[in-house]
Structure 1
Amino acid sequence: MIRFATMSAAAAVALSVLSSLPASARTPYDGAWSVVIITDRGTCDRAYRYSVQITDGIVRYSGEMGMDFRGRVGRGGSVAVSVAAGGSRADGTGRLGQSYGGGSWRGNSSTGQCSGRWTAERR
């Protein structure tokens, strides 16, 4: 009986210490990012800038435009994202570091095939 009470008290102390620690990101890439998408080939708009949020490695669009933005950041910072809006769709890959990242994308729209590069900066 004493052993159980001692273990319960120790567990309560451990839980109270852990709950008082500041919250931390679940992945090193979690947080707000600003992404610039640049068209190098095709007739898509020349550049776009988006705010995205990464939570638990899942990439989400933070804006108000009607876009389906899906993506994931792997443990080593590898990124795979798919964006769709209206009749357009683009897929991007690349890598994130602690504060910056970049990669390439390819897609199609009502104006044809497009491709280019993207850069990201932590906010």
Structure 2
Amino acid sequence: MRVMSCLGAAALIAPALALALALAPPARAQASRFDGNWSVEVVTEKGACDRAYRYAVIVQNGRARYGGPENFNVNGQVQPNGSVSASISRGQDRADVSGRLSGHTGRGTWSTSGGRVCSGFWNAEKRG
């Protein structure tokens, strides 16, 4: 799966989700029930981005980071109720992510801005 064809378009999720997801919580970070390794599938519904991507995302203390080799800037978090809100960028490309985690799964939407505009949905599954 190519990560950077639309910012690696959906690649920004994940993060996400990324997907996803990484603004530091207040001073004392506390473990979140959503902490762990997540596999995030990103699907493009509109725009000229690759059809689907799958990424590793690591959530720690409610913050998320991309678990792969590419370099993304992630700004967001997973709230204690599972609400996900984030933006992920690389260069001039950016993806805005929203959704919800519940138990060991999650889902939401994403859209890019910048060079190529795309949008779609994401699904997440907790791996550990």
Alignment correspondent of 2:25: none
Q: Determine if contact 1:60/1:70 at 8 Å carries over to the other structure.
A: no
Q: CA deviation at 1:27?
A: 1.1
From the CA coordinates, give the structure whose radius of gyration is larger: 1
**Separation in structure 1 between the aligned mates of residue 33 and residue 45 of structure 2, nearest angstrom:** 30
Partner of 1:79: 84
Given candidates 34, 59, 82, the residue that maps to 1:54 is 59
Q: Distance in 2 between matches of 1:114 and 1:35?
A: 17
- Aligned position for 2:126: 122
Partner of 1:113: 117
Partner of residue 40, structure 2:
35
Ranges of 4+ aligned residues in structure 1 off by more than 6 Å: none
In structure 2, which of residues 47, 62, 71 is the aligned counterpart of residue 66 of structure 1? 71
More strand by share: 1
Gaps of 5+ in 1: 1-24
Percent of matched pairs sharing the same residue: 43
Cα distance in 1 between the residues matched to 2:53 and 2:114: 14
Cα separation, 1, equivalents of 2:105 and 2:86: 16
Q: How many residues align?
A: 98
1:64 is matched by which residue type in structure 2?
P
Correspondence for 2:3: none
Per the alignment, do residues 66 and 45 of structure 1 end up closer, same or farther by CA in structure 2, a change over 3 Å counting? Answer: same
Q: Which runs of 5 or more residues in structure 2 are unaligned?
A: 1-29
TM-score with structure 2 length normalisation? 0.71
Distance of 1:67 and 1:99 partners within structure 2: 24
Distance in 1, matches of 2:67 and 2:76, equals: 13
Select the structure that is richer in helix: 1
